[in-house]
Amino acid sequence: MDMSNLNASYQVPTTPNIRIHKDHSLDIQSGLHIRGMTKTVNEQGFLSAVYEGKTHEDLHTCMFFCFLSQEEPKRVTKALSDSAWVKAMQEELLQFRLQKVWVIVDLPKGKWAIGTKWIFRNKKDKRGIVIRNKAILVAQGYTQEEGIYYEEVFTPVARIEAIRLFLAYASFMGFMVYQMDIKIALLYGQIEDEVVKSIYGLHQAPRAWYETLAKYLLDNGFHRGKIDHTLFIKKQKGDILLVHVCVNDIIFGSTKKELCLEFEKLMHDKFQMSSIGELTFFLGLQVKQKEDGIFITQDKYMTDILKKSMIRSLMYLTSSRLDIMLAVCACARFQVTPKVSHLHAVKRIFRYLKGQPKLGLWYPRDSPFDLEVYSDSDYVGASLDKKSTTGGCQFLSKRLISWQCKKQTIVANFTTEAEYVAAAHCCRHVLWIQNQMLDYGFNFMNTMIYIDNESTICIVKNPMFHSKTKHIEIRHHFIIDSYEKKLIQVIKIHTDYNVADLLTKAFDVSRFNILIASIGLLNL
């Protein structure tokens, strides 16, 4: 592609170009006509008449609607007929030129070129208003062959539990979490092949970008999390700066605000980035940071999926709404061969969500920071195959950061076996959290796992009950080793106070409401 005549500045038309005009330039390399940069008296009068007495925010909404395209074109020919998309394409090619993504060469003999494709997306704010037209030139990665075009492609991905843990720590320490977005992030990656720069769509592009970013942070005093490689930590004179990376989205916070400012400058020096400010939206989670804590919800996402009843959408909603997790997991087992009864069950879930749209997790600031865990199982909870259901939830005091609801892979012979398997599954998550918290400076030993089955506690404390457990798979017995190393403690709790019951059984309305309030699921 010849980019020598790409203009760094755009030609402003002398004739106003608003929504009703269709005389767009079809030449992407020529001077670009930007709509709305010149206004006549008539245009100004129109806007003032429409927005007389309206707020400043409403005026911006009108500006976005008038001067940005509201439709995502499916074909490049359609995009070339709209100057808003032509401008977006021009900006993308300009970034390619600035980053020296490619040079024009003859195709080597015996080689096949990887094609490209334009993708057009409208970027929206939290209200659903289009605020930017984004055109992305991507490689047709599906034409790549493993072993010829690429080898290793793995790149770390942030776990949703790790993000909740990050926010729980921020609420405990009382610092603000900020967000930044790296523009054209993947173009910074270096690929050690005949292609010298990464580009969106290539299989190895995300890995190349992560390695570029990680090396830059490590060279500037950060160290990487031992368990979570998307977490980077920098400690300075008793203060700590935490950075979580999810491709081109980065959240960060510190016990000292000056460290946040230094980090922003550090990133500005290397990458083109935009500082979004306080964290409000990340990985589908809406975050409200208050003086007395942090509130996590997904009410906007819930409103969207009400229009497209789908189990997969509901599964992601359980990232903050564990009150529906048991029902959603039960319905998910019938996705391959659903019946009318399953459709009715899904519709019932949506009716409940419509009546409770604002529920979210509350992380109070003035709460201690102790790791507590609850484990439970429902013996023969799945009536069709007679398998039991495992339930577990992990708290940092009153901050719920992780939970599980899963059908067991075995058919338990008795209740104690089902509870023992559930406790072992819960213990795995405890060990992950313990190792993760070492990066934050916390060493959680003797973590208490609350279980409402006395026999399960006896088996963990006394492995001599081999005649009762010799048929249980060996992989579940590691919980005994964790107990002997004093990594965990198993504590008896009455069933009425075991909040993990919410993830294993159905309850009446009064008991259900008590449980969701006990786990910190509130309406703010």
**Averaged pLDDT for residues 196-212:** 74
Instruction: Please name which of 152, 138, 159 lies closest in space to residue 246, comparing C-alpha atoms.
Output: 159
Portion of the chain with pLDDT greater than 70, in percent: 80
Q: Highest mean pLDDT: which of 234-248, 306-320, 423-437?
A: 423-437
Q: What pLDDT score does 68 carry?
A: 79
Residue 245 CA: distances (Å) to CA of 224, 230, 324: 11, 5, 29
**Is pLDDT at 329 greater than 80 in this prediction?**
yes
CA pair distance 368, 345, nearest whole angstrom:
39
Q: What pLDDT score does 148 carry?
A: 59
DSSP state of 197: B
The position carrying tokens 């013996």 is: 379
Contacts of 359 (CB under 8 A, 6+ apart): 297, 321, 323, 516, 521, 522, 523
The CATH code that applies to domain 160-283 is 3.30.70
| Cβ–Cβ under 8 Å, residues 504 and 378 | yes
Portion of the chain with pLDDT greater than 90, in percent: 40
Q: What pLDDT score does 171 carry?
A: 94
pLDDT tens for 187-197 read 666 666 666 66
Q: What is the pTM of this model?
A: 0.76
Q: How confident is the model at residue 403 (pLDDT cuts 50, 70, 90)?
A: very high
| Cβ–Cβ under 8 Å, residues 35 and 83 | yes
Q: How confident is the model at residue 137 (pLDDT cuts 50, 70, 90)?
A: confident
As a whole number, the mean pLDDT across the chain is: 81
Q: What pLDDT score does 246 carry?
A: 85
Q: How confident is the model at residue 93 (pLDDT cuts 50, 70, 90)?
A: confident
| Cβ–Cβ under 8 Å, residues 481 and 461 | no
Q: In 10 A of CB 166, how many CB atoms?
A: 25
pLDDT tens for 71-89 read 888 888 888 888 888 888 8
Query: What are the boundaries of each domain within the chain?
Result: 41-136, 160-283, 296-360, 367-523
- Radius of gyration over alpha carbons of the chain, in Å? 27
Q: How confident is the model at residue 182 (pLDDT cuts 50, 70, 90)?
A: confident
- Considering the segment(s) 367-523 as one domain, its CATH architecture is 2-Layer Sandwich (3.30)
Q: What pLDDT score does 141 carry?
A: 72
**Averaged pLDDT for residues 134-157:** 73
**E strands, 368-446, in order:** 371-382, 387-396, 399-407
CA pair distance 182, 276, nearest whole angstrom:
10
